[in-house]
Amino acid sequence: MEIKRNKYLEMLQIRRHNGFVKVVTGIRRCGKSYLMNDIFGEKLKEDGVNENHIIKFAFDSAEDLLLIGEDLQELVANKKKVDPKKFIAYISQRITDNDMYYLLLDEVQNLDCFEAVLNGYLRKKNIDVYVTGSNSKFLSSDVLTEFAGRGDEIHVLPLSFSEFYANYKDGLDYAFDDYMVYGGLPAVALMKTPEQKSSYLKTKLQNVYLKDLVERHNLNSDENIGELLDIIASGISSLTNPAKLASTFKSVKHASLSALTIDHYITYMQQAFMISKANRYDVKGKKYISTPYKIYFEDVGLRNARLDFRQIEEAHLMENVIYNELRYRGYNVDVGVVDTRENIGGSSERRQLEIDFVANQGNKRYYIQSAYDIPNEEKMKQETKSFDKVNDSFKKIIVMGKSMKPRRNEKGYLIIGVKEFLLDPNSLEL
């Protein structure tokens, strides 16, 4: 079964021959290699590119490394990187004419001096370079600086709900429930049983994601960063900061972890694309508030696995899913804050009202509330109070947990069910 990633394929397509290194980033196991080698590679052939002009090389593949004469035992034993001379010589042998060649390179951080090698290929007019990488520099947000400003990033998220549902057989409600619990990692989406899914997620979280963090940042163990991840996972959609997390860590884990260390750990997890931090934005003041902020998981399945699937809180998970969907659609997403004054007990008091998401893209902006359940009019008033205080004309949307066709209330706010919101690529424009 093939999982289509049409959005990302289009992003690669429009970047062909743009003179940049196309850098495909994303959390490990999100489908970067499959996107580049299989989906994009096949598209190149469909467009008439000769197969000999598509050069694929994986720097973590024993078969590929033997092609260039590398000693696998020596590489492993001495933790050496691949010799660039051997790789360059191999590529030179493959390029036999002046027609366009496409280099599709996996785990390129395992190549010694890869920055210089790739910058060298950028100077050749008949070579178009695409790379993926993980673990080392390629899992950092400043990856593009490695190519002296000549890198073009395509950030790949786990499957959106629409991508997930396209291959699901058991109906919409079951699909959404499955997605909320087990997330959108492609391998998980293709598994048949809950046991398979949960085992895969828990194993990979411990043996891949946390292990990578320990090795990359030379940590003594994964114990503290793993326990911090527990606390973050339990508090998704809640405002937090390093000081608050340090206090929680001490009370829950009965151990001390400084706010500075926690800040570092959060940065490490962000750089590995395990989590994403949503800053607060003062809508009226038009300025950012650095702390507190919210933390969401790149994949909710990994969040649930970390808690051994014991805290399946639909309202909080739905908020995380909506956040990821907005990012999938290419929006910058903040948590909105609206300052207002209210008469309480005869005196005027300053209040801060929250808008779950402020989504921006160019000159477009949307205000979005995630409301799993609105049982009565009073609850609706609470959910829309912040909207009422925003004095602008940008669209305001309430996403509800139950299935419902889009409609507008008397104030013009769009109300839509979460499944309908996620499956309609134009739901923000309704």
**What is the domain-level CATH number for residue 90?**
3.40.50.300
Mean predicted confidence (pLDDT) in 393-420: 96
48 and 126, same domain (yes or no): yes
Across 298-413, the runs of DSSP E, i.e. the strands, are 332-344, 347-361, 364-371, 395-400, 407-408
Region for 339 from its dihedrals, namely left if φ exceeds 0, alpha if ψ lies in -120 to 50, beta otherwise = beta
Say yes or no to pLDDT of 326 above 50: yes
Residue after which a domain boundary falls, among 114, 133, 155 = 155
336 and 218, same domain (yes or no): no
230-239, 347-356, 400-409 — which is least confidently predicted?
A: 347-356
Confidence of residue 141 (pLDDT cuts 50, 70, 90): low
35 and 147, same domain (yes or no): yes
175 and 120, same domain (yes or no): no
60 and 144, same domain (yes or no): yes
186-195, 248-257, 406-415 — which is least confidently predicted?
A: 248-257
pLDDT at 302: 98
Confidence of residue 346 (pLDDT cuts 50, 70, 90): confident
Report which DSSP code applies to 140: S
34 and 170, same domain (yes or no): no
Q: Is residue 319 situated within a structural domain?
A: no
Q: Is residue 69 situated within a structural domain?
A: yes
Confidence of residue 136 (pLDDT cuts 50, 70, 90): very low
Rounded to 10°, the helix 314-328/172-182 angle is 90
pLDDT tens across 5-33, in order? 999 999 999 999 999 999 999 999 999 99
218 and 134, same domain (yes or no): no
State the Cα–Cα distance between residues 368 and 183, nearest whole angstrom: 22
Kindly list the distances between the CA atom of residue 164 and the CA atoms of 172, 183, 188, 190, 361, in Å, as whole numbers in the listed order. 11, 9, 10, 9, 24
Say yes or no to pLDDT of 137 above 60: no
Q: Is residue 288 situated within a structural domain?
A: no
State the Cα–Cα distance between residues 333 and 327, nearest whole angstrom: 7
Confidence of residue 148 (pLDDT cuts 50, 70, 90): low
Say yes or no to pLDDT of 379 above 50: yes
Q: Is residue 313 situated within a structural domain?
A: no
Phi/psi at 68 (5° precision): -100, 10
Tokens matching residue 211: 């292990």
Mean predicted confidence (pLDDT) in 301-320: 97
**Of 144 and 209, which is predicted with more confidence?**
209
Q: Is residue 101 situated within a structural domain?
A: yes
98 and 235, same domain (yes or no): no
Judge whether 205 and 256 are in contact, CB under 8 Å.
Answer: no
Boundaries of domain holding 184: 161-279+294-305
131 and 168, same domain (yes or no): no
Say yes or no to pLDDT of 215 above 60: yes
Confidence of residue 283 (pLDDT cuts 50, 70, 90): very high
148 and 181, same domain (yes or no): no
Say yes or no to pLDDT of 265 above 60: yes
Rounded to 10°, the helix 223-234/259-271 angle is 80
Q: Is residue 344 situated within a structural domain?
A: yes
Residue after which a domain boundary falls, among 120, 155, 190 = 155
Q: Is residue 227 situated within a structural domain?
A: yes
Mean predicted confidence (pLDDT) in 239-261: 93
149 and 196, same domain (yes or no): no
Mean predicted confidence (pLDDT) in 97-109: 95
pLDDT at 149: 74
Confidence of residue 146 (pLDDT cuts 50, 70, 90): confident
Residue after which a domain boundary falls, among 155, 187, 204 = 155
Judge whether 119 and 92 are in contact, CB under 8 Å.
Answer: no
Q: Is residue 318 situated within a structural domain?
A: no
The domain total for the chain is 3
End-to-end CA distance of the chain: 33
178 and 104, same domain (yes or no): no
